[in-house]
Chains A and B, each alone.
Chain A
Amino acid sequence: MTIRITIRDADTGSKVEMDLEEDNSIEETIESAASYWEKEAGAYVLRYGKKVLRGQTTIGMSAIRDGDLLELIPDPEGGY
């Protein structure tokens, strides 16, 4: 079953709609969104309300529904 979600880029506020299958993984979703905005996929996670989404969890397992909004958030590293 296909669902349509919106992903918001937290850095800019811009949004993109994506059609996903239940068996698509979060990692694939991040890769697609990151690629759309020309970002490096490995350095991002998805925010779904209060929840963190990342890795091989599938869309079906993460309780995401048609019309939901996810946010692409960077995972920064600082160092001296």
Chain B
Amino acid sequence: MNPDVRKLLDMLEETVDGIDDEARIKLLPIITGFVNDLKRDIGRVMKLKADKRLRDLEMSLDLKYRKKISNIKLSDIPEEVVAEIRQMCELELASKYRELEIQSANITGAGEKPVSETGPKVEETLDDAADAQNSSDASSATQGQVVAAPVEKRSFSKVKHNLRLCRAKRASSESSPTDEELPVLMPIEPVELYFRSQAFRAMMEHCIDIGKRELEALGFLLGDHFTHEGDVYTVVEEVVTSELDSSIISVKIKDFTPMFERMHEIEKAGKDFILVGWYHSHPGHTCFLSPTDVDTQKRMFRKDYHAAVVVDPVNSEVKSFKLGKGEDYREISYGVYR
């Protein structure tokens, strides 16, 4: 395992020593969001390595949390830790960008398309080459040449298969053979929903609090939306809720007054938000959109930026959705920012 990831896991292990269940529930979604962010960023430059590393990371986190569940206690979410992890990963990411830029330049310079079909070996070769690159102390230019040579001789068909979604996304805008030879530069999946951390925390606390009474929570996501290169991004700046008419299987707003008081405050503070979606909880029932939820989404949140977030505070799960084209709905990736 990469030493930085090892260090990161050690740090997390120290942090979660003594976390109580409630803090754990709060912490997990934040880490999940962070890992989603990381996936997106790393995926842009090194999908093959990143996938394996993140699988390791997620698996290790999962094991550690499960292991520590009986004796954990921590009074608050360790945001400093998340910041440190992010910084560490950004440093690593910057380093990988530099390495892969050199690698890409060398592949491009070779000027020949791969010819032979070797199937899964391609992945091994890329991984091995990247490992060699990581462990080498030689200059960057030398590292790039070491990687480029074996890659050039092999077919990318397997890699293309693994990255078909990413390639489809790029196919419309870029078609040169050289670009075809750079699968490591392709994105995995875009994050479509961004939460300001305070908003995410407020939503989680609400769902956890109501969930303790085995009731569903509900609220609105306030924020804005942006379009970049044809992709729509939703940003949640605030969440608002109200007095609810709630059971373990259904939820509606009973009295809008507390919610409107908060919306009035936000408005008076000069913030011009729109409703970018809604959240509600499925305590213990996992995260998905029920027929009732889909109906609500279709009737009230039909725009392409409208998101539906479902939280299961019992199983520490958070998922976000948007209406799909053709199907009822699709899951989307979300991230939490500060």
Residues of A within 8 A of B (CB): 10-13, 39-40, 43, 45, 47, 49-52, 73-80
B249 touching A80, Cβ below 8 Å:
yes
A50 touching B300, Cβ below 8 Å:
no
B274 touching A51, Cβ below 8 Å:
no
- Which of A45, A49, A73, A79 is B249 in contact with, Cβ under 8 Å? A79
- What are the nearest 7 A-B pairs in CB distance? A78-B280, A79-B292, A74-B300, A79-B250, A52-B256, A80-B249, A13-B274
Nearest residue, chain A, Cβ from B274:
A13
Given contacts A11-B274, A43-B299, contact A78 B293 (CB under 8 A): yes
B253 touching A78, Cβ below 8 Å:
no
- Which of A39, A51, A79 is B260 in contact with, Cβ under 8 Å? A51
CB distance from B79 to the nearest CB of A (A): 29
Q: In whole angstroms, how far apart are the Cα atoms of A12 and B251 in the complex?
A: 24
Q: Which residues of B contact A12 (CB under 8 A)?
A: 274, 303
Interface majority SS (helix, strand, loop, mixed), chain B: mixed
A47 touching B260, Cβ below 8 Å:
yes
B290 within 8 A of A: yes
CB distance from B211 to the nearest CB of A (A): 12
Q: Which residues of B contact A76 (CB under 8 A)?
A: 218, 252-253, 278, 280, 296, 300-301
Given contacts A47-B263, A79-B251, A79-B293, contact A11 B306 (CB under 8 A): yes
Nearest residue, chain A, Cβ from B265:
A50
CB distance from A76 to the nearest CB of B (A): 5
User: What band does the interface of chain B fall in when counting residues whose beta carbon is under 8 Å from A?
Assistant: 20 to 34
- Which of A39, A50, A78 is B218 in contact with, Cβ under 8 Å? A78
B54 within 8 A of A: no
Q: Which residues of B contact A77 (CB under 8 A)?
A: 250-252, 292, 295-296
- 27 A–B pairs (Cβ distance < 8 Å), ordered by A: A10-B274, A10-B275, A12-B274, A39-B299, A40-B299, A43-B300, A50-B257, A50-B261, A52-B255, A52-B260, A73-B260, A74-B275, A74-B278, A75-B252, A75-B253, A76-B296, A77-B292, A78-B218, A78-B252, A78-B278, A78-B292, A78-B293, A79-B216, A79-B291, A79-B292, A80-B282, A80-B285
Nearest residue, chain A, Cβ from B286:
A80
Q: In whole angstroms, how far apart are the Cα atoms of A51 and B263 in the complex?
A: 11
A79 touching B274, Cβ below 8 Å:
no
Q: Which residues of B contact A49 (CB under 8 A)?
A: 260, 264
Q: In whole angstroms, how far apart are the Cα atoms of A4 and B277 in the complex?
A: 29
Q: Which residues of A contact B260 (CB under 8 A)?
A: 47, 49-52, 73
B256 touching A45, Cβ below 8 Å:
yes
- Which of B218, B290, B299, B300 is A80 in contact with, Cβ under 8 Å? B290
Name the interface residues of B237-264: CB closer than 8 Å to any CB of A.
Answer: 248-253, 255-257, 260-261, 263-264
CB distance from B275 to the nearest CB of A (A): 5
Q: Which residues of B contact A79 (CB under 8 A)?
A: 216, 249-251, 290-293
